[in-house]
Amino acid sequence: MPDFAVQDLISRTLAGERVPLARALSWVENEHPQAGALLDACFERSGRAFRIGITGPPGAGKSTLVTQLAKAYRSRGETVAVVAVDPTSPFSGGALLGDRVRMVELAGDPGVFIRSMATRGSMGGLAVHTAQVCDVLDAAGFQRILIETVGVGQSELEVAQTADSTVVVLVPESGDGVQAMKAGLMEIADVFAINKADRDGADRAAFAVRSALELRAPTSEWVVPVELAVASRGQGVDTLVERFEEHLRFLSAGGGLERRRRQRLAQRLEDMVLDAMWAAFEDRVSDAERQAMLDAVVRREATPRQAAERLMHLAAERDDAALLD
């Protein structure tokens, strides 16, 4: 049973109060001992927000676009939360500072909430924290959640996949379409934005992306739109918002939204079980014992499979002993 202070923080967070909400998000990020109770309370009330991932190479204009998208959603009367995930070292901090400057025009609007998250611990942890942060924002009543990530590695793609719908932001510079395919961005894009269309080659880049899309085996009825944008001038932003909303309608009508969310929750569930199993294992088998077994493998006295089996056996024996206590 959560104590009074926790209960108070939960109810004020659910009511959408900004200061408690910010505190709640810090609890999630820092894995505060009471974060579990908070997350349970939020999870019950989540599932209403539409989560949009904005990903693409560094400097493509994602933060600029997110700022404009948030403004466009606000003028449509929707409340918006922005989660800017910065995969760079927490010590650099440069990108986050830049984002704050860029998003400053959203400040003061009670219908917008901006949160930057830096990498802490493992990248798997970052995807988990992002999903949890979104649950809290969702429960707090934000209707659209924009998640910005740099799409450069597998782990960043995992963060992008915490969204219901994903827009991949590219720039006209030649070769970007190919880059996107290599980086696995083609597979996750529901919408493409060719940003910085004030530069040469935007039409060519859009054509290259469309051609690449046509080469793929169709996996859905959804035809991935490729739109030009000049985020710094707010051009093409309304069209993008329209595409996201169309995609949401498409997903909702065909059961795709439920399927995507179910798959995402299955992944989260599995991650949590694996975490719990590993923690239980670590509790029961000491580091010294694991090292000793590793030594045996290194000396070729046991195969990795045999060693793993023995360690699991040891853990199971101690599990039984613990149950008899």
Distances in whole angstroms, Cα of residue 164 to Cα of each of 23, 48, 109, 227, 271? 26, 11, 25, 19, 19
Decide which of ligand GTP, Mg ion, none touches 242; Cβ closer than 5 to 8 Å per partner kind. Answer: none
Q: Find the part of the chain contacting Mg ion (CB under 5 A) among 45-53, 58-66, 244-252, 260-268.
A: 58-66
Cβ atoms of residues 54 and 169 within 8 Å: yes
Site pattern 123..152 for Mg ion (x: CB under 5 A): ------------------------------
In terms of residues, how long is the chain?
325
Tokens for 42, please give them: 């939020």
Beta-carbon contacts of residue 125 (< 8 Å; ≥ 6 apart): none
Among 13, 63, 119, 130, binds ligand GTP (CB under 6 A): 63
CB burial of residue 212 (10 Å; 0-12, 13-18, 19+):
middle
DSSP state of 241: H
To 10 degrees, what angle do helices 123-139 and 18-30 make?
160
Q: Find the part of the chain contacting ligand GTP (CB under 6 A) among 94-102, 104-112, 290-298, 313-321.
A: 94-102
- Does residue 95 interact with ligand GTP by CB under 6 A? yes
Shortest Å distance, C-beta 159 to ligand GTP: 13
Residue 38 or 52 having the CB closest to ligand GTP? 52
Among 119, 130, 166, 195, binds ligand GTP (CB under 6 A): 195
- Does residue 64 interact with ligand GTP by CB under 6 A? yes
Residue 97 or 322 having the CB closest to ligand GTP? 97
Cβ atoms of residues 267 and 273 within 8 Å: no
Sign of the Cα torsion 82, 90, 36, 21 reads negative
- Does residue 63 interact with Mg ion by CB under 5 A? yes
Q: How far apart are CA 139 and CA 194, in angstroms?
A: 33
- Does residue 166 interact with Mg ion by CB under 5 A? no
Taking CB under 6 A as the criterion, which residues in 198-237 touch ligand GTP?
198-199, 230-232
Under the rule (CB under 5 A), what is the footprint of Mg ion? 62-63
Under the rule (CB under 6 A), what is the footprint of ligand GTP? 58-64, 95, 98, 102, 150, 195-196, 198-199, 230-232
